[in-house]
Amino acid sequence: MNAVSQEVTAKIAVPDPNFVLLYVASAAASSAFYTDLLGRPPVESSPTFAMFALASGVMLGLWARDEVKPAAGGAAGASEIALALGDEDAVHALHADWSARGLKIAQPPTTMDFGRTFVALDPDGHRLRVFAPTAP
C-alpha cells in the first residue's frame, strides 16, 4: 500500500440529488408540457434546454437528447418520476385532471402494495407515477 492509499480511509458522503434531467426530443415542446403541468414557467430556457425550479428545491431539467454529451443510451420510460399525494381522493382528482388535459395514461388508478396509484406519460414517454402511500 502506498502513502496516498493509506491516507484515504474515510469515504466522502455525496449530497442528496437535487437535479433530475430528462432527455427529450424537443426542449420547447417538453417545456410547454411541463409549464402547463407544473403551473409555472421554466427558470432557464434555451432552444436545447429548459429548467424548472420545483417547490421541493429539486430542479427538473429538460435536455434535447441530440445535444447530450456523451450521448445517452436507453429509452424514455425506463424509469419514473414519482409524486406522492396525501390520499386516494387526491390521486383520483389528479388522474381526472390529467386525463381531461389529454395526458396519455399508461396505468389507470389501481391499488398496488404501496398504495393507490396511476401512471401518465409525458410527450417523450417518461413515466409520471402519482400515488397515495398506504397508511402504516
> Which residue type occupies 66?
D
E strands, the chain, are 19-24, 44-46, 49-53, 59-64, 80-84, 104-112, 115-121, 127-133
Distance CA 17, CA 28 (A): 25
Domains of the chain by start residue, with CATH: 1-68 (3.30.720.120), 77-136 (3.10.180.10)
> Considering the entire predicted model, what is its pTM?
0.83
Instruction: List the grid coordinates of 111.
Output: 391499488
3-state secondary structure of 78: coil
From first to last of its 136 residues, the chain has per-residue pLDDT tens of 555 555 556 788 878 889 999 999 999 999 999 999 999 999 999 999 999 999 999 999 999 999 999 988 888 777 899 999 999 999 999 999 999 999 999 999 999 999 999 999 999 999 999 999 998 7
